[in-house]
Amino acid sequence: MKRALRAALIIHLALGAGAAQAQEIKQSVCYRVEMPRSYGPVRSITAKLDRNGIDIQFTEWDTPNTIFLAGASCADSSGRMIRCSIECDGGHADLALTPDGRLSLLARSLRSLSLGQESRLLSSLDADGTVLSGFFVLNESTAEHCTPEGETYQVALEAGDDTPSVAAAEKLLNDLGFLLEKPDNIFSDRTRAAVAQFQTASGLKATGVIDAETARRLVAQAATNGGC
């Protein structure tokens, strides 16, 4: 499989090797592509190169609210063909510019982190990500943010939940003076009471549940008060 992927990359370049000799992979430019479900687990992938290395983000089919992050250092960040890798055998990424200016990415067991988005405004970083393998051809993008498309939905936080997003919410409640205890992952009755008090003070219905609007108000007010 690895030989086949590398061969595909070489053939893709050889088709027009002379047409793009003067071109180099652009730095600080976002490249992206959306993948059909039939191709494999990757749904959307973006890549951006700078002098420190390559920043790759991708989403997978049937894995909602999650973006996978893979950053690799590159021996040389200029030219039409660039080799990047993660130390301690964290995988490799071969980059090449195609004759028509697209970015070919050959990923081999590239280790990633997962950015969980259990609440749209309260995120958690999980070291247990996945690995990226495959051959992708990305187009130059003019999007303001180099973020891959993925399936998202709002997940409310409520009593009984056990997640790092609860700790993030409790920290904001602490910063605002509604909860005076060390943040943890457990959404307890005391957390629910603090959320209800915050909602009342903010003119919201006191449900004790952190929905999208409550999360937005928490982050905005904590920022205003210098709490984040």
pLDDT per position as a tens digit, 205-221: 999 999 878 887 887 78
Residue 97 has pLDDT above 70, yes or no: yes
Average pLDDT, the chain: 81
Residues of the chain with CATH 1.10.101.10: 164-224
Does the structure show a pLDDT above 70 at 226? no
Cβ–Cβ under 8 Å, residues 166 and 118: no
Q: How confident is the model at residue 32 (pLDDT cuts 50, 70, 90)?
A: very high
User: Looking at residues 82-87, what average pLDDT do you find?
Assistant: 89
Name the nearest CA neighbour of 83 among 106, 58, 109, 57: 106
Kindly report the three-state secondary structure assignment for every residue of 98-125: CCCCCEEEEEEEEECEEEEEEECCEEEE
- Which CATH entry fits the domain spanning 164-224: 3.30.1120.10, 1.10.1200.10, 1.10.101.10, 3.40.50.2000? 1.10.101.10
Q: How much is the pLDDT for 46?
A: 96
pLDDT (0 to 100) of residue 227: 40
Please tell me the distance from the alpha carbon of residue 173 to that of residue 191, in angstroms, as a whole number.
9
Q: What's the CA gap between 140 and 31, in Å, rounded?
A: 4
**What is the phi/psi pair of residue 218, to 5°?**
-60, -50
Determine the average pLDDT of the residues in 27-44: 95
Question: What's the mean pLDDT in 25-51?
Answer: 93
Predicted pLDDT of residue 179: 93
Q: At 173, is the secondary structure helix, strand, or coil? A: helix
d(CA 2, CA 77): 23
Given pLDDT bands bounded at 50, 70 and 90, which one contains residue 3?
A: low
Q: Give backbone dihedrals phi and psi of 227, rounded to 5 degrees, phi first.
A: -95, 5
